[in-house]
A and B are shown apart, each in its own frame.
Chain A
Amino acid sequence: MIATEFPLWATLPASLLLVIGGLLTVIGSLGLLRLPTFFARMHGPSMGNTLGTGCVLIASMILSSALLHRPVAHEFIITVFIVIVSPVTAMLVMRAARYRTRVKEERRQQGLQREQE
Chain B
Amino acid sequence: MSTPIKVLVEGVGPQGDAWKGMLQEKGFLVQSIEEAGDGLDVQFALEVTNSDLTIKRQRVQKLDQMLPTGIPLLVTTLAVTATEVASWTRHPQRVCGFGTFLPLEEGNLIEIAPALQTDPSILAQAATFFSALGKETEVVEDEVGLVFPRILSLIINEAIFALIERVAEPEDIDQGMKLGTNYPFGPLRWADRVGLDEVYSVIDGLHREMKEERYRPAPLLRKMVLAGWLGEGVGRGFYTYEIEKEGNYAKQS
Does B associate with A?
no
